Amino acid sequence: MAFDSFSAFMVMEGHGPYVWSCYAAFFLLMVGLMIWSVRRRRAAIEACRRGYEFQAGQQNQQSASASAASFTRVKVSQD
């Protein structure tokens, strides 16, 4: 093993605080990035769902107004 003890491994001949703080920053940023990505994905899926519901509502309104239309024969005099 390269180090005599666990405390020597943690200290790394004086470089330990720098090394371990870099690892800590890296893992914190990775966790933050994963959380941010999951939230953005959920927001995008929710926006798509709202868009689909809006489009479906518009189509239902158009079909309701189209079915309400009636075509009646108009009697026009041929004078």
- How does residue 13 score in pLDDT terms, banded at 50, 70 and 90? confident
Q: Are 19 and 10 in contact (CB under 8 A)?
A: no
pLDDT of residue 23 exceeding 90: yes
pLDDT of residue 17 exceeding 60: yes
69 versus 36: the higher-pLDDT residue is: 36
- Can you give the pTM of this predicted structure? 0.61
What is the 3 state secondary structure string of 39-50?
Answer: HHHHHHHHHHHH
Residue in 37, 9, 40, 5 with CA at minimum distance from that of residue 23:
9
Mean pLDDT of 18-24: 96
